[in-house]
Structure 1
């Protein structure tokens, strides 16, 4: 099952990245995270990254029916302000990103303390393969939509200039869809 999800995610990421490559926007290209590939020792039998998996602790029931609309910017991207662990940050919603991806500066601002030894996972970005740390964001909020315990990766600031709100957030919503040039999020 995990293999199927990874293959599907990689295919979706490649397909979604083709139009963006032609935009020749270096800042955007540097910021894209296309797929997470877990690096694991040969003796490890547990998967390193659980894509859209339920967390070990029981989820807090959130009220359903919450909606938020993100208007597309001039380039057609869905950018907005989010709250990560109660701190306001800018980000772009990216259905091609398997996980929420934040840079190290943002991780520090939201209270995540990471050591160089935490960067053990290999992830593929538009700029190649780099090291990342897998973390859990306690709370991710956009408008009145709020999710707890969202899986994310942390990348170096040079590799990720724009925080990405990926599928580890979106798949936990009731729905997300583009309507009239805007992205509708429903919890």
Structure 2
């Protein structure tokens, strides 16, 4: 019984590693497929068509790692709960925002202490120009995706009622894509 269990676990482990190996080096599998095709005797001479690659352009690797899907709310916004420096925060993912943007209340809650003199940068928002403080968030996490040292701005509560996850986070991901009311984030 133990022998069968050991054989089964070895088989399961190797089976699970095949997709990882393929993603890291698809040429190995392509070469294996080519060698089996050329080893068979040809019945009829047919042109070979390779669906595995595109000439003169390397195949893009498939995304690996963690994935999170965020569904759009009734207004079409990708609102979700995330963590800033380990604290749970509500907000919206905004591809139109250059940086992650939090209001002063949220900044205090996540452990950022700011002085009035820190608000020395002028930023343009949909509501006009406003003073902002540039900060670094130690860790931003959405589901299983976590990014460290994310650049952000802090705006007054009256200027920013909803925290925004902007491009300073999204650009650090392997992929993000909106389709059919769902935003897919891949790290």
The structure richer in helix per residue is 2
**Which one has more relative contact order, counting CA pairs under 8 Å at least 6 apart?**
1
| Map 1:42-61 → 2, pairs under 5 A | none
Tell me the secondary structure at the aligned position of residue 105 of structure 2. helix
Distance of 1:120 and 1:178 partners within structure 2: 34
* Offset from partner CA, 1:87-117 (integer Å, 9 cap, x none): 0000100000000000000000000000000
Distance of 1:181 and 1:92 partners within structure 2: 14
* Offset from partner CA, 1:32-86 (integer Å, 9 cap, x none): xxxxxxxxxxxxxxxxxxxxxxxxxxxxxxxx51000000000000000010000
| Map 1:128-139 → 2, pairs under 5 A | 128-139=128-139
Distance of 1:146 and 1:75 partners within structure 2: 27
Aligned to 2:166: 166
| Map 1:4-153 → 2, pairs under 5 A | 65-153=65-153
2:178 maps to 1:178: yes
Distance of 1:124 and 1:180 partners within structure 2: 30
User: Which has more radius of gyration?
Assistant: 2
Q: What TM-score, normalized by structure 1, do the two folds share?
A: 0.66
Cα deviation, residue 180, structure 1: 2.2
Q: Segments of 4+ in structure 1 off by > 3 A?
A: none
Tell me the secondary structure at the aligned position of residue 106 of structure 1. helix
* Structure 2, gaps ≥5 residues long: 1-63
* Structure 1, gaps ≥5 residues long: 1-63
Q: What TM-score, normalized by structure 2, do the two folds share?
A: 0.66
Cα deviation, residue 186, structure 1: 0.1
Q: Give the superposed CA RMSD.
A: 0.6
Cα deviation, residue 126, structure 1: 1.0
Distance of 1:97 and 1:181 partners within structure 2: 19
